[in-house]
Amino acid sequence: MTVEWIRGTGYYANSYVCGNVLFDAGIMPDQISGYCDEIDTIVLTHCHYDHIAHVKEIQALTGGKVCIHHLDAPGLTEGSISLSVMFGERSPGIIPDRILNDGDVISGIKIIHTPGHTPGGICGYIEEEKALMSGDTVFTDGGYGRFDFPGGSADDLEKSIDKLSVYDIEGLYPGHGIPVQSNGKGHILSALKMIRLY
């Protein structure tokens, strides 16, 4: 299963197409025009507006089922949780089709609950590709997500990054920045070292 990167613009997050699954929906709907017939599932790594801004329109285009961890589901309707007010916008106002839990598998992609940036943050791991869609949990420059927003926790984020460090990861596909296709685990270990210095 290949991972196709769709670059986010401005403050809006990257998205990734993995077979029939789209990770995150902050991109403009026309950016997925070539994938509409393939996508039947939309996995949201967390509820912040830069990752969910166009989920309603993308769902209408693809018919995809929207999936999110239960702790972040309220952000789909509540602006104070999604931080949509910081963008001068409102939350999409939709109810998810599926609630995700740690260890769930969607089309061969393992869901890993990684709280810290938000309470319901998740990552998606494709074992056969050694690929991780990391949302805002960890980035490819050794950085990690902010934990000073409502619901954030530095302790939880450190535990989540430590949890990811045991996986065999080559491709690291973050919510922001440039993905890498090799040594993803090295970037995660760098982030773990940095947050432990906090």
Range of the domain at 159: 3-196
Q: How many domains does the chain have?
A: 1
Number of Cα atoms under 13 Å in the Cβ half of residue 122 = 30
pLDDT tens by residue, 139-195: 998 999 999 999 999 999 999 999 999 999 999 999 999 999 999 999 999 999 999
Q: Is the pTM of this model over 0.95?
A: yes
Would you say 173 and 182 are in contact if contact means Cβ atoms under 8 Å apart?
Answer: no
Widest pairwise Cα distance in the chain: 46
Per-residue pLDDT of the chain (198 residues; tens, 9 = 90+): 899 999 999 899 999 999 999 999 999 999 999 999 999 999 999 999 999 999 999 999 999 999 999 999 999 999 999 999 989 899 999 999 999 999 999 999 999 999 999 999 999 999 999 999 999 999 998 999 999 999 999 999 999 999 999 999 999 999 999 999 999 999 999 999 999 987
CATH code, 119: 3.60.15.10
CB under 8 Å, gap of 24 or more: what pairs does 163-166 form? 163/112, 163/114, 164/112, 164/114, 164/123, 164/132, 164/134, 164/137, 164/138, 164/188, 165/189, 165/192
pLDDT computed for residue 151 by the predictor? 94
